[in-house]
Amino acid sequence: MATIKITKHNFEQEVLHSKEPILLDFWATWCGPCRMVAPTLDEISEEMAGAAKVGKINIDEESELASRFRVMSIPTLMVVKDGKIAAQVVGVRPKKDILRMLEI
């Protein structure tokens, strides 16, 4: 499963009403570390298909969502389960650490 582009229009359905945990990546096109972690998130999206989802939120396009979650630095990775934040980290992390976030 490919990553999902999350916008204010699909946020409620894709994130708040998701049956699976969803890993949100707050990112921007100009962010070098965001580009570094993107291939890892694509791998996780494929490997976790059916068990978890990966959503990407471009903070330049979706500033309302970035403000709602008080994103101050990117990349910010956040796991939302049952409509609540279950885990959150800022910065590039190894794949094993990101996978561990999804073990909730």
CA distance 25 to 58: 8
Of the residues 34, 59, 66, 78, only one is catalytic, namely: 34
Based on the residue annotation, tell me whether 18 is a catalytic residue of this protein. Answer: no
**pLDDT over 80 at 35, yes or no:** yes
Based on the residue annotation, tell me whether 34 is a catalytic residue of this protein. Answer: yes
Q: Which residues contact 64 (CB under 8 A, 6 or more apart)?
A: 8
> 79 phi and psi, to 5 degrees?
-105, 125
Q: What is the pLDDT of residues 46-69, one digit of tens each?
A: 999 999 999 999 999 999 999 999
Of the residues 23, 31, 44, 98, only one is catalytic, namely: 31
Q: Is domain 4-101 given the CATH code 3.40.30.10 in the classification?
A: yes
**pLDDT over 80 at 7, yes or no:** yes
Q: Which two tokens stand for residue 92?
A: 């590039």
Among 90, 78, 89, 84, residue whose Cα is nearest residue 53: 78
Domain spans of the chain, in order of start: 4-101
Q: Which position has the token pair 């570094």?
A: 36
Q: Which position has the token pair 């939302």?
A: 80
- Strand, coil or helix: what is 5? strand
Confidence at 103, pLDDT banded by 50, 70, 90? confident
Q: What is the pTM of this model?
A: 0.94
Confidence at 1, pLDDT banded by 50, 70, 90? low
